[in-house]
Amino acid sequence: MSYNLLKGKRGIIFGALDENSIAWKTAERVHEEGGTFVLTNAPVALRMGQINALAEKTGSQIIPADATSLEDLEHLVEQSMEILGGKLDFVLHSIGMSINVRKGNHYTDQNYDWTQKGTDISAMSFHKVMHTLYKKDAMNSWGSIVALTYMAAQRVFPDYNDMADNKAYLESIARSFGYFFGKDKTVRVNTISQSPTPTTAGSGVKGFDGFIAYADKMSPLGNATALDCANYTVAMFSDLTKKVTLQNLFHDGGFSNVGVSNEVMEAFIKGSE
């Protein structure tokens, strides 16, 4: 169902890799709601994914960009405004990567060069994206910038490793830069803290399938899917949320406010019998 919520709005969507990714689903929903956008990802991710099919489906152009490179980001923002015919109304930052997780390094035994690279890709890139948008005055008034995060920024999930630190940093950047973007440009900046979602990025975390099942049993509404998250992001891009900024918005079926659920208690009681 379409409500034309983003009719006439333009933006950039970072991080669509394949049809499981939240950025991919968001691009589809933005298109259905009348928005136009440029798709971007790192050159290596573009080779791995199927983003051309998404571009064709949504009538979008793809601009390769390394989100850690200011030069690439400047080119991306300039080209996007040229292609789309004006300033931007929305930006989705859906980028995260931990080499320590990929290589199986325990949190207590990190390769710090890898840690730094992961921080640069997963969190510092968000500052660089906003720095570029801010410097180039590329956002329309009442525009909306959203980054995707996870509750490991607030609570311990042992196998989430250094990504937990990256997400905490990402959320802090959203608040700090969001203050200046709000005061100086009337642009809102928020993070969406999504349920564990079976994406290419998420499934790299050890024990992820078990955790998805646990979170689902803990959440009164069950886990939010990638499509659910896309719908929420569309709402955040729309004019219906104009006064929401500097927020970390939990989109997790209620998981973040549940101490324990009956289903989880029952499973433990059965296990101890």
> Annotated binding residue at 176?
no
- The CA distance from 228 to 219, in Å, is 15
> Annotated binding residue at 182?
no
Catalytic residue among 134, 150, 169, 232: 150
Contact (Cβ atoms closer than 8 angstroms) between residue 13 and residue 54: no
> Annotated binding residue at 217?
no
Catalytic residue among 3, 107, 134, 160: 160
> Annotated binding residue at 206?
no
Contact (Cβ atoms closer than 8 angstroms) between residue 198 and residue 225: no
- The CA distance from 125 to 17, in Å, is 17
**How are beta strands 61-62 and 139-149 bridged, if at all?**
unpaired
DSSP for 117-182 reads: HHHIIIIIHHHHHHHHHHHTT-EEEEEEEEEEE-GGGTS--GGGTTHHHHHHHHHHHHHHHHHHHH
150: annotated active-site residue: yes
- The CA distance from 13 to 247, in Å, is 20
Among 8, 6, 67, which Cα is nearest to 240's?
6
The half-sphere exposure of 63 on its side-chain side, counting CA atoms within 13 A, is: 21
> Annotated binding residue at 63?
no
Residues that constitute the known binding site = 15, 21-22, 95, 167
Give the residue numbers annotated as catalytic, written as ranges: 150, 160
**Binding site, annotated residues for NAD(+):** 15, 21-22, 95, 167
